[in-house]
């Protein structure tokens, strides 16, 4: 969502920058065609005040605005407020200097309308209040000066600009509520998408990360790893097919849920990631854990799991486990898993019911 507001801020900043450039070009053109040939010192003073001052001030405002927007240490809300104040200041400087042009007074409505897009009542109210204040200030400054600076119809322009700001406030309220509804819909959609993505990552029976989520997490951790250890344990329940065929799938599910509970209790600590990537196949990713410590944890899991007793079974159920720590040299997540899987098959071929590390 912040990206959305960042784009709005940058678009507003570009619009203001283009507006200032247009004002500068308008000033130069106006001076060249209307005032360049006016005799006497008056034209020189008029040039310095009417064209030099707004150009300098507006350029300073624009430079300060871009500095704030590009600064990573300034909060997003401060940047939003900065854009609105810059729009108001540019309007104030331009209107105050160009009071002879009655149409310029309508500019104060622009920042009032634009303030609604940030969907922030404080920013909208602040912008409207400051627009009325700057409008009154422009009118007051115009009344202090005589020709050529004074607006010939100052009172009429003040009434027109005040009316424009009032109309802009009404329109901004309508736009504000429309943007608020749109934002609420976007947030609800984003929440639903996030919830759906989380559901798609989880195995429905155990609640553990599923096959695709396992490989996604493993690939990310392998790529992000620097010098920190990263271990992987791959688990396969021994003789599980025989349990399903002999005692039924319901009893097989009970075994899986028992192992899930134990693995969660013993392995889900910190950043460890417990996954069910197949029917009776599980995996645990151990970030920042060396292979020796990972083996101790999995030995504890195995010990508790084979001590479990079932009403429908004489004896116990065990699993085989292969554990491997990511090598120092560059290795892909696929190669990493393949080596851990070899450790698992070594445990299987060595009699099962054990954890083998490499």
The per-residue pLDDT for range 220-268, each reduced to its tens digit, is: 899 887 778 999 999 999 999 999 999 999 999 999 999 999 999 999 8
pLDDT digits (tens, 9 = 90+) for 4-15: 566 766 777 777
Kind and range of the H or E element at 334?
helix 333-349
d(CA 273, CA 288): 12
Residue 211 CA to residue 205 CA, distance in Å, equals 13
Q: Where are the beta strands (DSSP E) in the chain?
A: 230-237, 273-276, 281-287, 319-325, 355-357
CA distance 277 to 203: 9
At 14-51, the pLDDT tens digits run 777 787 777 667 666 665 665 555 554 445 455 555 56
Dihedral (Cα; 153, 158, 160, 162), 10-degree rounding: 180
pLDDT at 152: 58
pTM: 0.51
Beta bridge mates, 324? 232
103-107, 159-163, 189-193, 233-237: segment of lowest average pLDDT: 189-193
Tokens of residue 76, six digits = 């997003």
Asked if residue 282 lies in contact with residue 257, where contact means CB atoms within 8 angstroms, the answer is: no
Name the nearest CA neighbour of 235 among 291, 175, 194, 275. 275
- Output the pLDDT for position 284: 96
Flag whether pLDDT at 326 surpasses 70.
Answer: yes
Is residue 352 reached through a cis peptide bond, with omega within 30 degrees of 0 on the bond before it?
Answer: no
Q: Is the pLDDT of residue 77 over 90?
A: no
Using pLDDT thresholds of 50, 70 and 90, give the confidence band for residue 281.
very high
Query: CA-to-CA distance for 335 and 304, rounded, in angstroms?
Result: 30
| Residue of higher predicted confidence among 330 and 356 | 356
């Amino acid at each position: 969502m912040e990206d959305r507001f960042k784009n709005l801020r940058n678009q507003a900043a570009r619009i203001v920058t283009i507006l200032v450039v247009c004002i500068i070009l308008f000033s130069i053109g106006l001076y060249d065609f209307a005032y360049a040939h006016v005799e006497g010192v008056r034209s020189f003073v008029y040039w310095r005040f009417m064209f030099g001052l707004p150009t300098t001030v507006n350029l300073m405002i624009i430079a300060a605005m871009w500095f704030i927007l590009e600064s990573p240490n300034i909060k997003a809300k401060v940047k939003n407020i900065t854009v609105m104040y810059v729009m108001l200041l540019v309007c104030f400087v331009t209107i105050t200097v160009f009071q002879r042009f009655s149409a310029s007074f309508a500019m104060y409505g622009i920042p009032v309308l634009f303030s609604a897009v940030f969907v922030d009542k404080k920013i909208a109210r602040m912008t409207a209040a400051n627009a009325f204040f700057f409008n009154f200030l422009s009118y007051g400054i115009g009344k202090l000066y005589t020709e050529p600076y004074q607006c010939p119809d100052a009172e009429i322009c003040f009434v027109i600009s005040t009316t424009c700001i009032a109309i802009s406030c009404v329109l901004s309220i309508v736009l504000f509520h429309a943007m608020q509804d749109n934002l609420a819909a976007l947030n609800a959609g984003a929440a639903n998408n996030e919830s759906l993505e989380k559901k798609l990552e989880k195995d429905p029976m155990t609640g553990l990360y599923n096959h695709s989520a396992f490989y996604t997490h493993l690939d990310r951790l392998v790529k992000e790893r620097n010098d920190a250890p990263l271990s992987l344990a791959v688990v396969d329940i021994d003789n599980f097919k025989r349990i399903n065929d002999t005692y039924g799938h319901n009893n097989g599910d009970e075994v899986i849920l028992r192992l899930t509970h134990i693995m969660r209790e013993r392995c889900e600590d910190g950043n460890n990631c417990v996954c069910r990537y197949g029917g009776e196949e599980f995996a645990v990713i151990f970030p920042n854990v060396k292979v020796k410590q990972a083996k101790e944890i999995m030995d504890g899991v195995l010990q508790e799991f084979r001590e479990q007793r079932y009403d429908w079974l004489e004896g116990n159920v065990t699993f085989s486990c292969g554990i491997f720590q990511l090598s120092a040299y560059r290795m892909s997540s696929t190669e990493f898993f393949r080596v851990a899987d070899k450790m698992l098959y070594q445990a299987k071929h060595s009699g099962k019911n054990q954890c083998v590390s490499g």
